[in-house]
């Protein structure tokens, strides 16, 4: 497995039709950042403020696990949080403000 991937064991299995999902592979591919909307501005104290809507993280997380948003919505909240955190870290790493992997 490439360094740009990691397997997340889900806390709760998800059933979509006849498919049971017990784990997902989170992939960090630059092409997944296409279409992400990010706005930068001043925070009022001389620093930079970066804003994006939550749809950006949800859509990016969905792309990173290779499942549609409707499937991600069925995941346990802790699993959703882990995936959205990965998406957040990936997005901000490419903005030069996230934690390095």
The pTM is what? 0.81
DSSP states of 42-80: E-SSSSEEEE--HHHHHHHHHHHHTS-HHHHTTS-HHHH
**How is the chain split into domains, by residue range?**
5-94
Q: Which residues lie closer than 8 Å to 29 by C-beta, 6 or more apart?
A: 4, 64
Per-residue pLDDT tens over the stretch 68-78: 999 999 999 99
Asked if 90 contacts 98 with a C-beta cutoff of 8 angstroms, the reply is: yes
Return the bridge partners of 48, or none: 42
pLDDT of residue 47: 77
pLDDT of residue 98: 47
Residue 3 has pLDDT above 70, yes or no: no
Distance CA 100, CA 62 (A): 21
Per-residue pLDDT tens over the stretch 15-61: 999 999 999 999 999 899 887 777 777 778 877 777 777 898 999 99
Q: Number of C-alpha atoms within 13 angstroms, CB side, residue 60?
A: 29
């Amino acid at each position: 497995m490439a360094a740009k991937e990691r397997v997340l064991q889900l806390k709760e299995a998800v059933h979509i039709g006849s498919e049971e999902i017990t784990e997902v592979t989170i992939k960090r591919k630059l092409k997944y950042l296409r279409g992400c909307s990010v706005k930068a501005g001043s925070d009022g104290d001389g620093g930079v403020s970066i804003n994006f809507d939550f749809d950006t993280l949800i859509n990016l997380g969905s792309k990173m696990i290779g499942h549609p948003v409707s499937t991600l919505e069925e995941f346990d909240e802790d699993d959703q949080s882990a995936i959205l955190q990965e998406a957040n870290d990936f997005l901000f790493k490419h903005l030069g403000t996230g934690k390095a992997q």
